[in-house]
Amino acid sequence: MTLLLNIVIALVCGAAGFWLRQNTKLSVVEVSAILALTAGLVLPPLLQEGALFALTCTAVSYAAMCSSERCCSYREMLIISAICSLVIYFGQSVLVGIGGRLGTSAAVSVLLCLLAKRFLSPDQAQKAAKG
């Protein structure tokens, strides 16, 4: 149940981040700060696993800062958010400590999404390389 809720919360956070990025004049850093601060203040007191969910939202907020050329649709942001939630959840005991863990998780999630996109759509990758 924790994993499922972690994924759902990550999807909501990712969608919110993408929406804020597209529809406000906030910088990507400001969007990330709003998402991470809100998650950190709201989720831990509200839910038993709230600290984990806040970590996931923070990592997703970092992923939402990626270039609009790398992540240009809600669909891609949702895929990245889901991957990020899985990386945080399953990496809890491996990725320990504070420094770099969440940013690394976000970067790995974006890279996995880009690799999957490239391998699942080789024609588009070849067109992009030629264009």
pLDDT digits 0-9 by tens, 42-77:
999 999 999 999 999 998 998 888 877 777 789 999
pLDDT digits 0-9 by tens, 64-118:
888 777 777 899 999 999 999 998 899 877 766 655 667 777 777 877 887 887 8
The model's pTM: 0.79
Look up tokens 């929406």; give the residue.
19
Alpha-helix runs per DSSP H in the chain = 2-23, 28-46, 50-63, 74-90, 101-120, 122-130
Listed by start position, the domains of the chain span 2-130
Packing angle of the helix pair 74-90, 101-120 (nearest 10 deg): 130
Check if the beta carbon of residue 31 is closer than 8 Å to that of residue 17. Answer: yes
